[in-house]
Every structure is written in C-alpha cells, then in structure tokens.
C-alpha cells in the first residue's frame, strides 16, 4: 500500500477545489492506501512567503512531500494559471522534490477557456520538480461542483465519471491498485445445473443473484460508501439509507443482483422485506466505468422479477435528495413518487417511490437469472412455496 500526499492549494476556507480533492481522497482510501492532506493555506504565511524552510511547520510539510510515494496536487485556476498559493509552496521545496514520484493534477476553474490549464500551466512545473509520472489529470468546472454546509458535495456526473476514471488510472500508475475481482467459480443453481443468464443487448454480461459476503459485491459496497460519504458529508438520515444489516438481504426475504462482465461486477442492487407484501429496493449501483449503458434499468428489472418470484406484490424504495440520477432512473422505470416533486428535495430528506408488480410479468425478453448461492434446492423451494402461498 502506498502513502499519498494530497496538496490542497486554494486560499479559500470553503473551497470547491478542496471538496473535489476530498472526494479523490476517498477513492484512494477505499483502495487501501494511506492518505495525508496538506492544505497549504494552513501553513504559517510569513515563513511560507519568506521561503523559510527552517520553520517547523514548513519543514514538516517538506518532509511530508519527501515521505510520500505519490501526490495529488489540486488547485483552482486563478488568472489563467494555478494559484499563487501553490507557487509559493512549490518554491520552498527542494529543486527535485518530486523526483521518482507519481503526481495527479486536479484543477477547478470557472471558465471553459482554461480547461487546458492542467496541461499548459500545472503539468510543466510538476515535471520540472522531477515527477516521474504526471497522471492524466482533470479540470472540473466550478459549475459542476456544489458544496453543502454539512460537508456534502455533489459533482455533476459529466465530471464525476472522468474524475473517477483518472483517479483509477492514477492508482494503476502508482501500481498499488488491487486487481479487479477475479472471475467467480462456476456455481450451482437451484435446479442443480450451471447458471448462465445472459443479459439482453449485452451478451457478455451475466446477471447473478447472490447473498451478502459474495466477493462479487465488493466493488458495489465500497463504491457506495464513497458515494454517500461524498454527497452527504456528516452522518444524516440520508447516509443512514445504507445502514441496514446485511442479513436483511438473505433469502427468502431478500437478495442481491449483480451484473458481471468479464469477471468484473459492473452494476447491482438489492431487495429486502419491507412488509409482508412489499419488497424494498436498496443499494442500486453502477460502476462509474459503465454508466450510460442502461445497466441500472436492467438491475431494476432483475430486482423486480426477483421480488415477484419471492412473492412480493409491490416495491418500495427511497433515495437521497442529492441523487438526481437515481430519481430520474426510478421515474423512468415506472415508479410513482410519494413526495412533492415541486419542493426542494433538501427540505424533504429521503425521497420515497413505489411500484405495483404485475404478477407473472417477469423479464419478457430476457432469460431469468438463477440463484448464484449454494442452497439446498428442496429447502428453498419449500420456503418459497410457503411464502408465495401466504402472500397471494
Ligand atoms: C482571483 C480569482 C481568479 C480567477 N481566475 C480564473 C481564471 O482565470 N480562469 C478560470 O477558469 N477561473 C478563474 N477563477 C474561478 C475559479 O477558478 C473557480 O471558481 C474555482 O473553482 C475556485 O476554486 P476554490 O473555491 O477552491 O478557490 C478565478 C477565481 C478567483 C477568485
């Protein structure tokens, strides 16, 4: 595991740049690395401007750079270049302070005219300081960044996705990123045969029904922690959306569905019991590398089919007020909102939706997924028969 130093170079106390950097840090932490943040604005201004490396705090900052395996350098665009605050800090460093290190540049700015500030302004000085590799980097327009008073942050998906991608590529560059989940071994379904369930339109994607603890769930669960932590900051009723016991997702009352492509989990979601006749959808997720492929719609269809098979008659779900994409997905999937759509979502909290299931509708064009869990087929059939009999 590597030690990262994230240098935050905005002079502002409430900073868009710092917020974006905090999100990148979450991704680095989730990959198992040590991350230290250096907000340059908190260094003593006198010694900083005088380039006094004998000052204990300045000396400690220089030491932090020397001790890092890799760095993230985040700055706003000021006057068409990186911030002056970043320049005065870089000026106190030794000439080749970044020698042998990988550096990821992140820039926020107000004008699309300065999208290339990463390349024409920041990249040259990082190279001049000896960086072995300067990552792809990314410019996030300030119009794509919304910082909330509670520490929450919403980044527009059109910036969030590439930001996540350049962060992943940087982790690959540093060479310490865990390998993608290996293909799972063949499993036995309830009928005793091998389970293959192609997803229509995506012949290489397989839908699997799995239980908590399955390794295919790892990317989904860790990414949801990053998503909720970023969007809601401090713990709140919205972050509690993820805080339900994993045992809730065990058959016969719940399960996870994952879409797996080439051995890698690309999307997923879960259902659990809400009441005797109602399933609750939770944890719907699509990998940032696989957005805009219609996978979340497919996950919803798979979950609804599974809920019907488990004997539920309707589906209930909630999403947070800062998840506009999820809200759009549920509306497009035929869910009826149970809140005032004209109100500011921030004043509502978790947003509730519901949908009646059509008995026997299933997945018309697709083969049904089968269970990817090792269960005694007879036990499961008996349990489901009992549940179906009681509910219908
Ligand atoms: C003094 C000043 C100069 C700026 N100059 C530029 C500029 O030349 N080009 C640009 O795209 N944005 C410019 N901006 C906008 C900032 O880059 C943008 O709002 C950024 O997200 C602020 O980040 P911060 O909140 O971390 O300071 C400027 C902002 C300030 C305060």
pLDDT tens series, the chain, 392 aa: 899 999 999 999 999 999 999 999 999 999 999 999 999 999 999 999 999 999 999 999 999 999 999 999 999 999 999 999 999 999 999 999 999 999 999 999 999 999 999 999 999 999 999 999 999 999 999 999 999 999 999 999 999 999 999 999 999 999 855 544 443 333 323 322 323 456 666 678 999 999 999 999 999 999 998 999 999 987 777 766 557 888 999 999 999 999 999 999 999 999 999 999 999 999 999 999 898 899 999 999 999 999 999 999 999 999 999 999 999 999 999 999 999 999 999 999 899 999 999 876 655 444 445 444 444 444 444 444 443 444 44
Of 278, 261, 281, the closest CA to residue 270 belongs to: 281
Ligand 1 probe mutation, 22, 23, 77, 116, most atoms within 8 A of CB:
77
Kindly give the number of the ligand 1 atom that is closest to the alpha carbon of 75.
26
Task: Please give the distance, rounded to the nearest whole angstrom, from the Cα atom of residue 5 to the centre of ligand 1.
Answer: 23
- The answer to whether 248 touches 273, Cβ cutoff 8 Å, is yes
Both tokens assigned to 44:
């003593």
Task: Please give the distance, rounded to the nearest whole angstrom, from the Cα atom of residue 108 to the centre of ligand 1.
Answer: 7
- The answer to whether 17 touches 143, Cβ cutoff 8 Å, is no
Task: Please give the distance, rounded to the nearest whole angstrom, from the Cα atom of residue 77 to the centre of ligand 1.
Answer: 5
Kindly give the number of the ligand 1 atom that is closest to the alpha carbon of 77.
17
List all residues whose CB is within 6 A of at least one atom of ligand 1.
10, 12, 15-18, 76-80, 108-111, 114, 142
Q: In what order do the strands lie in the sheet with 264-275?
A: 198-199, 202-210, 255-261, 264-275, 278-286, 314-319, 351-356, 336-337
Ligand 1 probe mutation, 109, 122, 140, 147, most atoms within 8 A of CB:
109
pTM score = 0.83
Kindly give the number of the ligand 1 atom that is closest to the alpha carbon of 79.
8
Question: What per-residue confidence (pLDDT) applies to 246?
Answer: 84
Of 264, 270, 286, the closest CA to residue 210 belongs to: 270
Question: What per-residue confidence (pLDDT) applies to 377?
Answer: 41
Task: Please give the distance, rounded to the nearest whole angstrom, from the Cα atom of residue 266 to the centre of ligand 1.
Answer: 36
Question: What per-residue confidence (pLDDT) applies to 194?
Answer: 29
Question: What per-residue confidence (pLDDT) applies to 198?
Answer: 60
Task: Please give the distance, rounded to the nearest whole angstrom, from the Cα atom of residue 73 to the centre of ligand 1.
Answer: 16
Atom 16, ligand 1: residue with shortest CA distance? 109
Atom 22, ligand 1: residue with shortest CA distance? 76
Both tokens assigned to 24:
């990148």
Atom 17, ligand 1: residue with shortest CA distance? 109
Atom 29, ligand 1: residue with shortest CA distance? 78
């Amino acid at each position: 595991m590597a030690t990262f130093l994230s240098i935050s170079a905005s002079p502002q106390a409430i900073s868009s740049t710092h917020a974006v950097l905090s999100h990148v840090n979450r991704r680095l932490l989730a990959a198992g690395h040590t991350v230290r943040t250096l907000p340059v604005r908190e260094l003593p201004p006198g010694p900083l401007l005088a380039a006094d490396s004998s000052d204990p705090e300045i000396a400690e900052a220089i030491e932090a750079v020397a001790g890092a395996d890799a760095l993230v350098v985040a700055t706003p665009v000021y006057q068409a270049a990186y911030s002056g605050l970043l320049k005065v800090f870089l000026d106190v460093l030794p000439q080749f302070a970044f020698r042998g290190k990988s550096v990821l540049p992140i820039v926020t700015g107000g004008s699309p005219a300065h999208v290339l500030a990463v390349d024409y302004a920041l990249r040259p000085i990082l190279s001049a300081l000896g960086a072995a590799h300067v990552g792809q980097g990314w410019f996030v327009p300030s119009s794509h960044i919304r910082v909330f008073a509670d520490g929450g942050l919403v980044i527009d998906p059109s910036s969030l996705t590439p930001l996540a991608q350049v962060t992943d590529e940087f982790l690959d560059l540093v060479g310490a990123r865990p390998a993608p989940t290996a293909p799972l071994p063949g499993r036995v379904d309830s009928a005793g045969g091998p389970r293959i369930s192609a997803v229509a339109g995506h012949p290489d994607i397989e839908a699997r029904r799995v239980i908590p603890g399955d390794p295919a769930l790892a990317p989904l669960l860790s990414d949801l922690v990053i998503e909720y932590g970023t969007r809601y900051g401090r713990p709140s009723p919205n972050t509690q959306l993820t805080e339900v016991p994993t045992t809730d997702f065990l058959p016969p009352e719940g399960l996870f569905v994952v879409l797996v492509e080439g051995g890698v989990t690309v999307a997923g979601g879960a259902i659990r019991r809400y009441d005797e006749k109602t399933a609750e959808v939770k944890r719907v997720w699509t990998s940032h590398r696989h957005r805009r492929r219609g996978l979340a719609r497919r996950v919803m269809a798979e979950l609804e089919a599974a809920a019907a098979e488990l004997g539920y008659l309707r589906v209930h779900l909630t999403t947070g007020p800062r998840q506009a994409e999820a809200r759009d997905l549920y509306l497009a999937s035929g869910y009826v909102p149970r809140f005032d759509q004209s109100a500011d979502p921030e004043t509502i909290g978790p947003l509730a939706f519901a949908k009646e299931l059509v008995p026997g509708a299933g997945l018309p064009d697709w083969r049904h997924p089968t269970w990817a869990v090792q269960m005694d087929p007879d036990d499961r059939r008996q349990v489901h028969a009992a549940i179906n009999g009681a509910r219908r």
